[in-house]
A = this chain, B = another copy of it.
Amino acid sequence: MEMESQSGGEKPAGVFGRAWRRVKALPEGLLAKVVDIARQTRDVATDDPRRVVHSLKAGLALTLVSLLYYLHPLYHNFGVSTMWAVMTVVVVFEFTVGATLGKGLNRALATLLACALGVGAHYLASTTGKICEPLLLGFFVFVQAVASTFIRFFPAVKARYDYGLLIFILTFCLVSISGFRTHEILELAHKRFSTIAIGASVCVIVSIFVCPVWAGEDLHRLVATNLEILANFLEGFGAEYFKSSEEEESSKETKPSMAGYKSVLNSKTTEEALANFARWEPGHGRFKFRHPWKQYLKVGALIRQCACRVEALNGYLNSKIQGPGEMRRIMKGTCTKMSMESGKALKELASSLRNMNHPSSAAKKHMANSKTAAKNLKLLLSSSFWEDVDLLQVIPVAAVASILTEIVVCVENIAESVSELAASAHFKDNAAESPPESSSSSASDSDHVVIEVGEMAAPAAEANQSRCL
């Protein structure tokens, strides 16, 4: 009470005053909430405008399927079962074509199979008489549910047929148990399958023919984008790490562009889901049916391995102590080159992936440059004019150099796996189109080592060698 009289000291408003202030604040609070929701809505829509299109497509599919109710002849055929079609559309319609197709096929086939088995179970049970029938039906339902639920735990089944098994349990129970009460069980099974097939078809047709979103294309773009994110970090790292303290103060805004790699570290689940969906998709655009989607997962795993090294590098961006003069000069030159050239190589790989070309000779050139820089560092360090070195100051720089060497190896592995992808997906090989350009450029740069294709194919030995720097 004392507190209150203190706060209301200037204006003795009392209880009514406070209540009035609260009421007055209410619309403001509401307004703030509305503004916040509006902002969120805008963000969700602008982050990926295809979300708005997807919502409209879902509305379209549902309205189409509800025509079954409005058109008399159609409703006359199916009656109350029409609701299965509506239900199917709501449940099956997904963001990507692959997910919709996968769910639709799972639902339709599982329904067909379960209807057949359910009808069979019903006839078997109905021959045993009125007392045994419910017991036997209950037994069938129990055994089937236990077995199907258990099978859903198998990893291979879970990845592709989880939804199908769910629908199988559902339909088997409905058909076999309903038979105990209604005697037009065949009609029930027939109607359920037909309406579900109609619903699934509407979904698939709308999903494919109205602004389709292909999971495969998303996966392809995601992997290329992840490559570019790492490339941006590596291209910026050298300058950021070795910049002097004056530069440090003047430019604080370069860092945000380098923090994107965190999203790469957690991309595994998204990639796996997209690859699973993509396997259901027919050929589209530049992608054929049976495009090697699994190879994208391999590339993705290597990219995440590289991102882990980048995360380790990122830890050193904040350390201020840098090696002594001569040491620092050498480290700065070679490390910046290693990092920059690795970044450029990744960028070339990303762009050739995006354009579906074989990895360009430019990528190979940049990789060769980064390896040369690593070798140069080795040579310069082993020339033993290091007599008065403060080891304490050398250690962080040495760690950076060592991690960069690991990254050079990672980039090689990524390049190899992108090459494998290019070979198995029959990417365009435009090496034949421009051989003079690439050979002249590598000849003009005197300190470049040209990597032979054979050398690229066996990076393991190379890896060990350069890892020991």
Contacts and interface: CB of A to CB of B under 8 A. Distances in A.
Contacts of A170: 86-87, 90-91
Given A66-B138, A387-B387, A398 B392 contact: no
Nearest to A406: B315
Contacts of A316: 467
A390 B384 contact: yes
A402 B396 contact: yes
A386 B384 contact: no
Contact of A467 (B83, B177, B319): B319
Interface string A370-399: 000000001001101011111110111011
Contact of A69 (B177, B266, B304): B177
A210 interface: no
A384 B305 CA distance: 37
Contacts of A381: 391-392, 395
B390 A173 contact: no
Interface in A401-422: 401-403, 406
Interface residues of A, number: 87
A34 to B, nearest CB: 15
With a 10 A CB-CB cut-off, give which of A56, A150, A268 has the most chain B CB atoms.
A150
A431 interface: no
A134 interface: yes
Contacts of A468: 319-321, 396
B83 A149 contact: no
A269 interface: yes
Nearest to A72: B181
A66 B182 CA distance: 15
A55 B320 contact: no
A40 B154 contact: yes
Interface in A3-57: 40-41, 44-45, 51-52, 54-56
A123 interface: no
B392 A395 contact: no
A440 interface: no
A425 B149 CA distance: 35
A312 B318 contact: no
Contact of A311 (B143, B173, B305): B305
A273 to B, nearest CB: 10
B391 A181 contact: no
A149 B59 contact: yes
A4 to B, nearest CB: 31
A213 interface: no
Given A62-B142, A268-B266, A399 B403 contact: yes
A166 B40 CA distance: 21
A45 B268 CA distance: 26
A192 to B, nearest CB: 10
A312 B396 CA distance: 15
Contacts of A395: 381, 398, 401-402, 469
Contacts of A268: 266, 269
A391 B392 contact: no
Given A62-B141, A311-B308, A318-B467, A51 B150 contact: yes
